[in-house]
Chains A and B, each alone.
Chain A
Amino acid sequence: MHKLTLSRKSFLIFNYILLGLTAFVCILPLINVLAISFSSSTAAAAGFVKLLPVDFTLSSYKYALQKHEFVDGFFVSLKRVGLGYAINMLLSILVAYPLSKEKKALSLRNFYAWFFIITMLFSGGLIPTYMTIKSVHMLDTIWALVLPGAVPVFNVILLMNFFRGLPKEIEEAAYIDGAGYWRVLWKIYVPLSMPAIATITLFTIVTHWNSWFDGLIYMNQPIHYPLQSYLQTIIITTDPSLMSSNELLNTGDVSDRTYKAAQVFLAAFPVLLVYPFLQKYFMKGLVMGSVKG
């Protein structure tokens, strides 16, 4: 048994306080704006709201949910997440599997690998990409949001490394029994890779949900905006000259400020829901990423 020295004890107390305070400061902005979203416009304007709502009301949330742009955006986002996830996952699996093979099984393996890696290192940039999407007539369609990033190379590498870590014996037994690559992939590799697939699933869903810039530039009509793009156009107004020209809202308990706060949390809510799972799988993803083939 060893006893804590005085200096060790005081360090530990200091450490607990410092870490606790830092974490509190990190979460404070979220709590404050959450409290504002549940407060009345007068309390928010008077600066009474700190950590808890003042004059608790749901008016701002009701007001936000009545806006058809908000609801429309929500559904565009859902569609984007569903379609985008399906495409990303399918293509990640289909690309990662051949790349996990040795050169003797797939002679062009290294060529293919570099074909995909190069897209991580170099890109055409904003304008040429925009013009490509315009020239294939995808502006104002959901495809502009899900096809350009259809092959997420980082996820492919993650999955490829995971595939390589699986025992070769099962696969070889299947080949001897007459199974081909497709069967082995769907019946053996995919079921065995569920931990990796779960991690990629969560991150892909959050990435699609959070994307806003592509929606902003590829959709000419605001009716096609995903939720985050729509919110970008209304929440983000740092310029006071723009702020005054915007219709400043003040009806009953709802003000511009409480209304924006409510929308921020409505958009963050789905992320909050999956966050416990995200956190759990993240460590696994880290470990997988570090397994080099």
Chain B
Amino acid sequence: MQLKKKLQEWPLHLMLLPGILLTLLFSYVPIMGIVIAFQKFSPAKGIFHSKWIGLDNFRYMLELPNFTSILWNTIFIAVLKIIAGMIVPIVFALLLNEIAGAFFKRTIQTIIYFPYFLSWVILGGILIDILSPSGGIVNQMLGIFGIEPIFFLGNEKWFPYTLVLTDTWKHFGYGTIVYLAALTAIDQSLYEAATMDGANRWKQTLHVTLPGMMPIVVLMGVLSLGNVLNAGFEQVFNLYSPMVYSTGDILDTFVYRIGLLDAQYGVATAVGLFKSVISFVLIVISNKLAGRYAGYRIF
């Protein structure tokens, strides 16, 4: 027999209250503030007295001569980052998994994981130095092979690839650890059975390890769909310059410049909303797919 007295609910509501109030103010009020995307907003008149102009801001956005190239840059950079951000850690995890020496394995992990914890300001400072065409160590080393100095951060051809490479540098250690964790979860008896059947390590990788990794690979791939418009504001902001706007300007940096620097609040909010809505739809789709194919639930 149980002597369970019914607990009242109100303490639980009380616990949630501070979090709810702060979330209302700093997340939901800004969401409602999106209405200025449909206004000819002026700070002097405020949200309640600015003129409503329907979809004019969006029309203006689509007619901007550089809008298509900004949208394209965003997708191009983001998709390359997603692809590199999956392949490199998977390959690296597979190779690390073949290493028997625990010390070597740990040391490598410790080294490659470290840049993940440094901000893009710090990494930006480091990259600007090492990639400098005058005296940066990268160009010094290329010089040994007789290659002329390349201005990686100032050349519009090189810039997007430099972004992808340096982003991979920061993040692949993290990814490697995620995939390594998935590898250690594979049932060891499968390997023993494969050895009995005469499969060598390569065959085992192909027929045991890779299929064993597939669920997490599919999950990560599907979930990254939501990032197709996230080209990495913090990185681009710290590495780009007007010289590379044609290939390096992305939606987020564009919103920052026209919004906070040029004070075109309505247009900037419209561009931001355009991005948020597409991203939202993509996230919902990707979560649905992840739920169906990988049993993933956000909550």
Contact = CB atoms under 8 A, between A and B. Distances in A.
Given A50-B137, A128-B33, A136-B25, A260 B125 contact: yes
Given A47-B135, A239-B242, A126 B23 contact: no
Q: Is the interface of A mostly helix, strand, loop or mixed?
A: helix
Which of A157, A232, A267, A275 has most B Cβ within 10 Å?
Answer: A232
B12 interface: yes
Interface of B: 3-5, 7, 9, 11-13, 15-16, 18-20, 22-23, 25-34, 36, 43, 92, 95-96, 98-99, 104, 107-115, 117-122, 124-130, 135, 137, 140, 153-154, 169, 173, 177-178, 181, 200-201, 233-234, 237-243, 252, 255-256, 259-260, 265, 268-269, 272-273, 275-276, 280, 283-284, 297-299
Contact of B137 (A18, A19, A32, A151): A32
Given A124-B34, A206-B117, A239-B243, 11 more contacts: A5-B200, A11-B201, A15-B95, A27-B114, A119-B28, A122-B276, A128-B36, A185-B15, A211-B119, A263-B125, A286-B181
Contacts of B28: 119
Interface of A: 5, 8, 11-12, 15-16, 18-20, 22-23, 26-30, 32-33, 36, 44-45, 47, 50, 91, 94-95, 97-98, 101, 105-108, 112-113, 115-117, 119, 121-133, 136, 147-151, 157, 172, 175-176, 180-182, 185, 206, 210-213, 217, 228, 231-232, 235-240, 257, 260-261, 263-264, 267-268, 271, 275, 278-279, 282-283, 286-287, 292-293
A217 B260 contact: yes
B130 A29 contact: yes
Contacts of B96: 19
A30 B126 contact: yes
Given A126-B256, A236-B128, A286-B177, A132 B29 contact: yes
A267 to B, nearest CB: 6
Contacts, number: 263
A47 B98 contact: no
Contacts of B16: 94-95, 98, 112
Contact of A282 (B34, B121, B177): B177
Contact of B22 (A151, A175, A263): A151
A119 B24 CA distance: 10
A112 B104 CA distance: 47
21 contacts: A11-B201, A19-B96, A19-B108, A26-B169, A28-B137, A33-B130, A47-B140, A98-B15, A121-B283, A123-B27, A123-B30, A124-B27, A125-B269, A127-B255, A127-B265, A128-B29, A157-B299, A210-B117, A260-B125, A279-B110, A283-B181
Given A29-B130, A128-B30, A129-B30, A101 B108 contact: no
B23 to A, nearest CB: 5
Contact of B269 (A97, A128, A240, A271): A128
B239 to A, nearest CB: 6
